Structure formats: C-alpha cells, structure tokens
Amino acid sequence: MSKAFVREDDIGEEPVVRRMASPLAPGEKNYLTPVGAHRLREAVAELKHERAALAVPPVSADARRELLEIDQRVHYFEESLRTAEIVPVPDQPWDVVRFGATVVVRDSDGEESRYRIGGVDEADLSPDCVSWRAPIARALLHARLGERVEFDFPKGSTELEIVSISYE
C-alpha cells in the first residue's frame, strides 16, 4: 500500500527529541542541597503523574512527543539524584557563605538582592536559586558576614556587602 493512503498518525514514527545534557563537566561533582534533592524528587513525581495522564490510548503524535520529552526529563532528574552528593546544612554559626546558603547582599547604591546557592539542577527548579558554578555564586562563596566583595555585573562593577547568611 502506498503511503499516500496511510494516515500520518498510523505511521508510528517516533518523534526526535534532543537528549538533555548535563551542564557539569565530566568528573565534576553533582552537588545538591537537601531542599534541592527534595524538589527534584517532587518534580519526578509530578512528571510521572503527567505522563500517566498523557499515555491514555489512542496516543497522538503530539502526545508521543510530549511523552518522550517527559521520559527524558524523568531520566535526567533520576540520574541527577542518583549521582548527587547531597551537602548537609553546615553547623552554626552561619557567618561564612557556603554551598546551600541564602545570601542577602547590599550593593553600593543600597539595593538589596537575595541569592540561594545550590546545585546546577536546582537552579532550573527554583527562581531564587543560582548554581554554585554561576559567577555571582563564585564571588560570594567563602565570604564572611559583613565582608564586601567586588562583582562585575553586565551593567558594571560594584561592591556587594554580605548582609545576611541563612540556610533552609
């Protein structure tokens, strides 16, 4: 039978979905905060629930593509959790910025900003989280409460004062 007489949905070709790549270099540690690990587990559960709802026959070509994308995200997050080194909250006093810290800084204009330093996969799940590999996180890591650090934003260089350090 000619393909001209076959509906496109009946062909059964799998859509091509680009595989998610880790932003970590080979051999680089995959650090996660306990909160980040919890959020990744929640994301996996939500994706699996979404997948179950989409997988009801008949499955359209668009749904097959969505299912593949969900499967890849689930695989990526599960692999991230499997390879993660979960970094516990450090003991008090919290006077030094470490991985997992939420840091409030004040710039030279007196404007305050908040950054939570987490793992590379946490930064995608939480709008207030920056990866420990981000330039702002690297500038803040190991700084002490009250210390001032120089940072080059795209709009120009400024001095940031560490106003507070906390952990979830």
Q: Domain of 146: which CATH number?
A: 3.10.50.30
Q: What is the pLDDT of residues 113-137, one digit of tens each?
A: 999 999 999 887 777 899 999 999 9
Q: What is the DSSP string of 87-128?
A: PPPPPSP--B--TTEEEEEE-TTS-EEEEEEE-TTHHHH-TT
Beta bridge pairs of residue 158:
151
pTM summary value: 0.79
Looking at the 3D structure of the chain, how many domains does it have?
1
30 in any annotated domain: no
In a domain, 119, yes or no: yes
140 close to 97: Cβ distance less than 8 angstroms: yes
Residue 67 domain-assigned? no
105 lies in some domain: yes
Q: How confident is the model at residue 167 (pLDDT cuts 50, 70, 90)?
A: very high
Give per-residue burial for 30-43: e unless 16+ CB within 10 Å, then b.
Answer: bbbbebbbebbeeb
Measured CA to CA, the distance from residue 129 to residue 138 in angstroms comes to: 13
Q: H or E segment at 151?
A: strand 148-153
According to DSSP, residue 1 is labeled: -
Query: Would you say residue 111 lies in a domain?
Result: yes
Judge residue 139's burial from the number of C-beta atoms within 10 Å of its C-beta, 0-12 exposed, 13-18 middle, 19 or more buried.
middle
> Is 38 a domain residue?
no
Separation between Cα atoms, residue 47 and residue 96, nearest integer Å: 36
Provide the residue range defining the domain that includes 133.
Answer: 101-167
Query: Could you tell me if residue 46 is inside a domain?
Result: no
Higher-pLDDT residue of 9 and 165 is 165
What the block records as the tokens of 166 is 């906390």
Asked, for residue 118, whether it belongs to a domain, the answer is yes
